[in-house]
Amino acid sequence: MEQKHHFTLWYVVAAFLALSLFQDYYIRSYGPKTLAYSEFLKELKAGNIKEVAIGQGTLSGKMKIVADGVESEQRFVALRVDPEISEELTKYNVDFRGQPESTFLRDILSWVLPAVIFFGIWFFLMKRFNPGNQLLGVGRSKAKIVAESELNTTFADVAGCDEAKEELKEIIDFLKEPERFQNLGGRMPKGVLLVGPPGTGKTLLARAVAGEAKVPFFFISGSEFVELFVGMGASRVRELFTQAREKAPCIIFIDELDAIGKARGMSVMGGHDEREQTLNQLLVEMDGFDPRVGVVIMAATNRPETLDPALLRAGRFDRQVLVDKPDVKGREEILQVHAKNVKLSPDVNLHELAQKTPGFSGADLANIINEGALLAARRRKTSVEMEDLNEAVDRVIAGLEKKNRVINPKEKKIVAYHETGHALVAAFTPGSDKVAKISIVPRGLGALGYTQQLPTEDRYLMTRQELLGKIDVLLGGRVAEELVFNEISTGAHNDLQRATDIARAMVSEYGMGETLGLSTYPRQARPMFLSPEQVPLTGKEYSESTAAKLDAEVRELLENSRRRVRGILDEHKAQLEAIAQQLLKVEVLDAAKFEELLTGKAVEIEES
């Protein structure tokens, strides 16, 4: 194996000493002759001095010498002595010479020492930031390398995505026993792309694969490839794959792949910007290495629809693994994983907690367990109780409770009837989700109250009747305000917006309207795993006449819903009054107390 030599500081020191010795030898052998000042005066009297250059403290020039009868010239240098002293010394035939002051220490302090300090700082920075001898390290890969001995994450730490784990077990088997696949002539996919919503555990799953296979793990974010200097991203890609080949078998994991993998040709800078050069180099590297080496490339993104098609073709990221939000069984398993190191009270029911958290990701569930533990510690409890976890769910859904916010009695009364209107319509609308809690305690940024509904099971499809029921529940608060106060407030702003969105989607996207029939006019191409609120609106793709028809049918849907809701609240006005008055006293009603008030079994509930 070829031995590599690294540049060190000792090379510079050796070169400096060699230069000094050479300079000293050259001066002694070929430099001017040094004369004592008394000798200079004798040669001057003898007429041998032919040329003199007078300096501030020195004399230099040429003198005549005779050797073996041959006359020649010799350069000389002499240090001057005070004339008065030299006359006295000459009178008594005393040999004398000038003695120069030592400037060695002054030279060291004036230029040698600063030069050494400067070189030392430069050398330290080059070693610290540039182990690969590249300009300030900007072309060096920033991947974090985790050795197999440091990887403690296994599939036991990952829950709620059993299908994804089964899909990735082949990768682990290949890294452990590549011969089993190679003997049959098969090859593993070069790249595995993990796609799914944020917080579902894509990075955790990649670490678990490396931990199960016991191989080194290279972790880098897509944004770390792109640099200010042109070409540095491509350089880092080359460096990363070079390091991976040396550590094979191993796993390269690129998080947020869409940072460098977006489709080419969409940049305002044309086809030569830094991100596209980085992507081109990544495509070349993935095509160029042999899969038998044992390097598996994994990447994660929540925007797969924006990736360049060349990344997803066979031979690159040809296997895509969906890591979706967990169902109720998966949520319970995730809660169990995160609750292993938390002291839970015997009354904690994780299955019930999983039912209360539909649509939550693994990160959200971990946050609930942590928030519950913090609340219990704040209250100086010895264990985390179900009450703490329920409050943690409310905090994640609706925001931080603001008990100290002062609300005037009139506004509080409006909020109480508004939330009761939501709850009553939900209770008497077929197919609507069950009411779990009603609160008029302010939470979050602007919520003065909220009505929490929880589905009895996970749903993936919704019928037209169920969507109309959702619109009815959303309009329940606004209609209750009209019915009781004969006045409306701004509190229904968000409800009206959501109801309008559902009605418009029914007509323009789901083909549930009468005017447009089966024609669909989607508002925009929405991302696969991001909510519509996270994406700016685009222009419409239909004519003005179609837009007018669409608006008219949306308005009609909302007006029909308003009439239905008004009928429900008129019919149950006594219950609306009783529940709202009780809510003003206790501020929070759970599902059991709400059901008692709804059926008339409980007339009064003690104020909490």
Per the document, the length of the chain is 608
Proportion of the chain above pLDDT 90, given as a percent: 11
pLDDT tens figures, 389-434? 988 888 887 777 666 666 788 888 999 999 999 999 999 988 888 8
For the chain, the average pLDDT equals 78
Burial 272-287 (b: 16+ CB within 10 A, else e): eebbbbbbbbbbebbe
Residue with tokens 């015997």: 346
pLDDT tens figures, 157-198? 888 888 888 888 888 887 777 777 777 776 777 788 999 888
Residue from 341, 345, 339 nearest 382 by CA: 345
Burial 133-161 (b: 16+ CB within 10 A, else e): ebeebbbbbebeebeeeebebebebbbbb
Proportion of the chain above pLDDT 70, given as a percent: 74
Ramachandran angles phi, psi of 300, nearest 5°: -135, 145
Partners of residue 437 on adjacent β-strands = 452, 590
* Angle, CA of 38, 43 and 46, to the nearest 5°: 130
The pLDDT value recorded for residue 564 is: 94
Q: For 563-567, what is the mean pLDDT?
A: 93
Q: Which of 86-90, 321-325, 397-401 has the lowest mean pLDDT?
A: 86-90
Domain 328-397 part of CATH 1.10.8.60: yes
Confidence of residue 119 (pLDDT cuts 50, 70, 90): confident
CA distance 392 to 382: 17
pLDDT tens figures, 187-244? 777 788 999 888 888 888 888 888 888 888 888 887 777 665 556 777 888 888 888 8
pLDDT tens figures, 569-600? 999 988 999 999 998 888 888 888 888 888 87
Could you tell me the fold of the domain covering 144-322?
Rossmann fold (3.40.50)
Confidence of residue 4 (pLDDT cuts 50, 70, 90): very low
The pLDDT value recorded for residue 289 is: 62
**β-bridge pairing 70-79 and 33-35:** parallel
The pLDDT value recorded for residue 425 is: 93
The pLDDT value recorded for residue 139 is: 44
Distances (CA, A) of 386 to 376, 400, 577, 587: 10, 18, 31, 20
Confidence of residue 141 (pLDDT cuts 50, 70, 90): low
Ramachandran angles phi, psi of 101, nearest 5°: -70, 140
The pLDDT value recorded for residue 423 is: 92
**Quick one: tokens of 597?**
């008030």
Residue with tokens 């809701």: 565
Higher pLDDT, 606 or 50: 50
Q: 249: cis peptide before it, omega within 30°? A: yes
pLDDT tens figures, 263-281? 876 555 444 466 778 888 8
The pLDDT value recorded for residue 499 is: 93
Q: Is 17 helix (H, G, I), strand (E, B) or coil?
A: helix
The pLDDT value recorded for residue 1 is: 39
The pLDDT value recorded for residue 422 is: 92
Residue with tokens 């008030």: 597
In this model, does residue 135 exceed pLDDT 50? Answer: no
CB 495 within 8 A of CB 437: no
In this model, does residue 606 exceed pLDDT 60? Answer: no
Domain borders along the chain are 144-322, 328-397, 409-599
Q: What is the DSSP string of 520-567?
A: ---SS---SSS-GGGS------S-HHHHHHHHHHHHHHHHHHHHHHHH
> Please, which residues have CB within 8 angstroms of residue 402's CB and are 6 or more apart in sequence?
441, 442, 443
In this model, does residue 446 exceed pLDDT 70? Answer: no
Ramachandran angles phi, psi of 297, nearest 5°: -100, 125
pLDDT tens figures, 515-538? 778 888 776 556 666 655 555 555
Q: For 373-379, what is the mean pLDDT?
A: 90
Does the predicted TM-score (pTM) go above 0.75? no
Confidence of residue 113 (pLDDT cuts 50, 70, 90): low
pLDDT tens figures, 99-111? 555 555 555 556 6
Domain 409-599 part of CATH 1.20.58.760: yes
The catalytic residue positions are 419
